[in-house]
Structures are given as C-alpha cells and as structure tokens.
Amino acid sequence: MKKLNLLFFGPPGAGKGTIAKEVSKHYNIPHISTGDMLREAVASGSELGKKVKSILDSGQLVPDEIMLDVIKDRLIKEDVKKGFILDGFPRTLPQAEALEKILNELSNPITGIIYFEVDEETIVKRITSRRICPKCGKIYNTITLKPKVDNKCDICGVDLIQRDDDKEEVVRDRYKVYMEKTYPVIEFYKKYNHFFTVDGSGTVEIVTKKVFNILEAIE
C-alpha cells in the first residue's frame, strides 16, 4: 500500500479540517493543522502563543521563519513516518519550497495533494456559522452540521465556542490574504502527478466521498 503523505489545500472554510479528521481516523495517520497548533499555543500562553495571537486575530499570516520552526518540530516526530495530512501548511511559496526540502531530507515526500475549491460567499456563510469543541476540537456548524444538543459537543458535552477569527470582517480579510499569498502556491504543486481538484461546495457527505474515492485510487 502506498503511504498517504497528503497535503490539503484550499481557502479558509473549504472543509479541510472537517475532511482531514475523517481521513485521519480512517487511515490512522496524524492530522497536522498549523492553525490548530497555533491556537493551542495561544490557549496555553506559551512564548509562541504570545507572539502570534494578534496575527491570528487579524487574519494575517504568521511570518515564514516562525512557521518553519513550528512545522520542522512536528514533522520530525515518530508518528509522521506512517503518513500524514498537512492542513493549512504551506501558505506561501517559501513555505512550499522549505517543506519540499524538509520532507526530502526525511525521505518522506508528499504523495497526494487535494485542492478544495469553494467560492467566497459559501465560505463566509460556513465560517460565520462554525462552532468548535474547545476540548476535542470537533467541528460543527449551526446550519449544516448541528450538534445533537444545542451548542454542546456530542462527544464531550461541553459548550461549543466560536473561533476569534471567525467574524465576518476577519473572514473576508483571511480570504483576501489567501487569494494574494496562498492561492498562487498551487502553481508549485501542479507539477505533482497526484494533484486533485475537488469541488468542495457539496454537502460534507458528498465531498468526503469524493476525497475517499481519490485516496483509494492512489493508495
């Protein structure tokens, strides 16, 4: 079986985190979300968290040199050897170039890239109605993926929260930053054989099925 070293690419709110969690469970490979890692650092009050909090709140990108330290520390961990899903990294061309170098040095290169295509209005609607569990990280949506009990996590029972950067004006800024700095990175990845574009605008069930079909084909 081919190793699944995956990169999930796409705008904020495209469903990268939602689908990555399913893929991670199914194939038992780690879901590496740099956004989740940074939010954990903010919540813990670490030096890194203090440095990046205002950047996250404004929807801008954390500088490349900080992100490269974060991702290098994660990619050298033992669990990454069995495969991984990168979500939210890389977001700039220097990050993409550095990632390729790091993974080549580890003899663990990317084997599949999935690009989730979703338009801006769908994104704004999805993100402003997103809720997350502060304990287990499960992602909900007050319109499309409601919890069983209003505003409580199905698994942990704790109150759901809204991300600080999920206000409409910040979401629009994040989308702008994505189009300017991240979207062009697609050109870097089109050279790969296993580059797949998925229409991410369908229901979660439909998009999840499309992704699993692709993964079964490259497995």
Contact residues: ligand AP5, CB under 6 A = 12-18, 34-35, 38, 55-56, 59-62, 67, 88-91, 95, 126-127, 130, 139-141, 144-145, 165, 174, 202-204, 207
Pick one of ligand AP5, Mg ion, none as the site partner of residue 62 (Cβ within 5 to 8 A by kind).
ligand AP5
Peptide bond before residue 90 is cis, with ω within 30 degrees of 0: yes
Catalytic residue list contains 163? yes
Would you say 3 or 55 has its CB closer to Mg ion?
Answer: 55
Note whether 112 binds Mg ion by CB under 5 A.
no
How far apart CA 32 and CA 164 sit, in angstroms, is 20
Does the active-site annotation cover 181?
no
Per-residue tokens: 183: 């979207």
Cβ at position 132, least distance to Mg ion in Å: 9
How far are the Cα atoms of 34, 40, 180 from residue 46, in angstroms, in the given order?
15, 9, 30
Q: What are 33's strand-pairing partners?
A: 87
Q: How far is the CB of 192 from ligand AP5 (least distance, A)?
A: 19
174 is catalytic: yes
Q: Is 183 exposed, middle or buried (0-12, 13-18, 19+ CB in 10 A)?
A: middle
Clarify whether 25 is annotated catalytic: no
Can you tell me the distance from the alpha carbon of 217 to that of 103, in angstroms, rounded to the nearest whole number? 23
Instruction: Kindly name the residue from 39, 91, 126, 131 that is annotated as catalytic.
Output: 91
Instruction: Using CA atoms of 96, 57, 154, 7 in order, give the dihedral in degrees to the nearest 10.
Output: -10
CB contact at 8 A, 62 and 38: yes
CA distance 141 to 131: 6
Q: Name the residue whose CB lies closest to Mg ion.
A: 17
Per annotation, catalytic residue among 72, 146, 163, 167: 163
Closest residue to ligand AP5, judged by C-beta, is 35
Binding mask 5-24 for Mg ion (x = CB under 5 A): ------------x-------
For residue 16, indicate whether it is catalytic.
Answer: yes
User: Residues with catalytic annotation?
Assistant: 16, 91, 130, 163, 174
